A = this chain, B = another copy of it.
Amino acid sequence: MKKIGIADTTFARVDMAKFAIDAIKKKSDAGIERYTVPGFKDLPVACKKLIEENKCDIVIALGMAGRMPIDKQCAHEASLGLQQAQLATNKHILEVFVHMGEAKTEKEIYNIAKSRAEKHALNALALLKGKAELTKYAGMGRRQGKEDEGPIKTK
């Protein structure tokens, strides 16, 4: 049985892990391991531990970033850590970050967070099936948390 890691934070203002876990459970009986840390800079090592110590096959890293420049810098540092954690383990860690500046109202942020967590949960399930599972959607302009943009039409 495959195992999916869910890493999330107490900093986030939406319980994104709940949405991801619900989406996984509807479609799969994969095992789930959850790891909650204070902020998104604590996610990379948590994800690496989920893979190496809890034997997860893939991890979903859920975080929320504030509106200030320093928040963007912190998200950047966390993202680079997630890149390194993936390369050290040869496992995917899907970064599901929501930036408070992506929308004007809190309600919209909530909806983006929900949609992005759910859609990336499905991406995780697809990646677990194999490297060609998503090829039918290649170049199709898919988005998570927003409407798909679709492929560029040339005719």
Residues of A that sit less than 8 Å from B by CB:
8-18, 33-38, 41-42, 44-46, 48-50, 52-54, 70, 72-74, 76-88, 90-95, 99, 106-107, 109-110, 120, 123, 127, 131-135, 137-144, 149-154
Contact = CB atoms under 8 A, between A and B. Distances in A.
B38 A94 contact: yes
23 contacts: A9-B139, A10-B137, A12-B139, A13-B139, A13-B151, A13-B152, A17-B139, A36-B131, A36-B132, A36-B135, A36-B137, A41-B83, A45-B86, A45-B90, A45-B91, A48-B87, A72-B73, A77-B80, A78-B83, A81-B86, A84-B84, A106-B153, A110-B152
Count of identical protomers in the assembly: 5
